[in-house]
Every structure is written in structure tokens, then in C-alpha cells.
Amino acid sequence: MSAGYFPKRETLSLKDLFKGLATASHVLHYHGVLDAYGHVSVRSPDNPATFWMPRNVPPALISSPNDFVEYKIEDASAVETNAAKGYVERYIHSEIYKKFPDINSVVHSHSEHVLPYAVSGVPLKPTIHMAGFLGTTVPIWNISSAYSSGSLQDVLVRDVPLGASFASTFKPATSTGFIYSKVRSALPSQIGGSQEPDNKPNHSVSLMQNHGFTTVAYGIEEAVYQAIYTQEAAKAQTSSLVLRNAYVGHVLEGKVDVEGGGKFKSAKVKAEGGIAYLTDQEAHDTWKSIQTTIERPWELWQREVEVHPLYRYDSSGTDYD
């Protein structure tokens, strides 16, 4: 099998790929990014026209290679006719892979910490240097504008048109400079595909109104990192907003009319205690720096789920042993 999706690895077997997907699912559950719902996928290293993701099973309970299904990117149909039942929202993944040939891993989450920013009108922004990948703008997709006439309006991305509409939010009609310059592929060029800017998303994270968020990346470890730190950034921002609103002070600015009894003239009330978000340059540079260290948290997260009794994975007795 081709060189792989993990930093500093020369080769990657299908067995290793499945183990990586299982570990990613377990890690994301352990950190509360996924619960019984949500999913992570990866593009097939030797066939860019297909991708792998778990069957319809809670992420924490993925336990063997038999829990994975290979899908066609063209229409999200299973490669094998007798494949296990899959997730309804696999079209999120297939359409992102279709639109962005360089993207190799996708995480979809309903994180309770991120969801408020998909319903409140408060923009999600990077408050911590660990989340520079968010950039200064995180788009929000409203599925209600993409429903076809007479379709089931259950807020699920359950077909190709809805998946294509959502995938387009990662590359709106704006400059490609921000995300293209700071999100670099960890893969060899023969796997990464075309290096043209048009194949790169402008955003690494997109919110889904009333639903959750999705993040796209060039490898499994990077996708897991971005999913976890999107949630951490949301926690930090929410705490900052709550603290600011509870403690904010106000200053009255203006001129004092001494002869008029000390009243203010042309007075303005100025709030104190604004939230300091990363600048565009800071977001760019922090992500560029952090990107070289992603294997460090991955090593920790992998060990956390290895020693936890809930998470099990066994490839013995399969063709991938």
C-alpha cells in the first residue's frame, strides 16, 4: 500500500489504516467530540475515488476491521453490494472528497460546546493559539436553503445535492490565501493530488445551523486535532463571553460642563473588557507552528484510549491481520 496519512510514516497497510480510524473514533468519543452520533472518515490511499468510514455503529464501540465500509466518492454508495448498513450522512464526506481532491480526512460532530455558535448568531473565532486553523471567519451553512421541493426536512445531509451544497461552504467566493497558506498536506505529493490553490478549501471548519460542525484535513491525526481544538476554542470563547458579560465595566467619556452644574456634554458610554481574538496573522502563524507538533497530542490521546476499558480493537481473525 502507498505511503500513508500519518506524519513520519513511510508505508501504511490497510490494517494500519483501520486501526487509525478506530483510534480516531475512540479518541473523539473520549474527548466528547462524538457521542453515539458523529463520524470520522479517510480517503482510500490507493484509490482516490473511494473512502472508508465506520458502519452505522457508535464511535466508541468500533472494535474490528469488520466495522468499516468502503464507499464510492461519486455517489456515496458502498463498493461491496453486501456491505453493512452505513451512516445516513456519509454524503457530507463524499461531497467534500469530491470537491477537494487534496482533502483526505473528515470529522463530523454535534459537539454541545460548538453547537451554540451554529444557532446563536455569535461568530466562532479563535481565542486560543491552539486553534489558529479556525482563521478569522468560520462559515455557517443553513440547510433550509438547500432542500429540494417535497424533501424530508430533518436537517440531515442525506443526499448528493445537500452534501454538495454543504461542501461549497468550505470554499466560498473569497480569497484562498488564508487557509491555503497555512494548512499544508502531511502527505507525499503523489497522494496529496494537485497542488493548485483551487483544490484547497478556504476554511478548515464549517458550522451547520441547528446541527453541529465538520472539519476537513489532510490526514487523520490532523482532522482529530482540529475537531478537538474546535471544541476547546468554543469552550474558551463561551467562558470568555460569560465572564465578560458578568464583569464588564463601563466608562463615561465626554466633557464636563462646569458652569452647567458639572453635567457631561457629548458623553458616550464605553464598555471595558473586550475579548482578544487572534489576528489573521496570529491565526496563520500559530497554526503553522502547531502543525509540526500534532504527533505529540496524538501519542497522548492514543494512549488514553488504549488503557481505557471501554475502547477495544482486535484485528485478529480477519483478512487484515
Which residues are within 8 A (CB) of 27 and not within 5 positions of it... i.e. 6 or more apart?
A: 224, 228, 301, 302, 304, 305
Report the alpha-carbon distance of residue 197 to residue 177 in Å, rounded.
9
Q: What CA–CA distances, in Å, run from 213 to 34, 146, 289?
A: 11, 17, 24
Listed as own residue / partner, the contacts of 13-17 with beta carbons closer than 8 Å and 24 or more positions apart are 13/320, 14/65, 14/320, 15/65, 15/315, 15/320, 15/321, 17/42, 17/45, 17/52
The answer to whether the CB of 130 falls within 8 A of the CB of 144 is: no
Pairing of strands 39-43, 50-54: antiparallel
Residue 89 annotated in active site: yes
**Helical (H) or strand (E) element with 52:** strand 50-54
Number of Cβ within 10 Å of residue 17's Cβ equals 22
Q: Where are the alpha helices (DSSP H) in the chain?
A: 14-30, 90-99, 160-167, 177-182, 189-192, 220-247, 280-290, 295-306
Number of Cβ within 10 Å of residue 148's Cβ equals 9
**Active-site option among 10, 89, 259, 272:** 89
Handedness of CA 171, 177, 180, 183 (dihedral sign): negative
User: In this structure, which amino acid lies at residue 69?
Assistant: V
Active site residues: 89
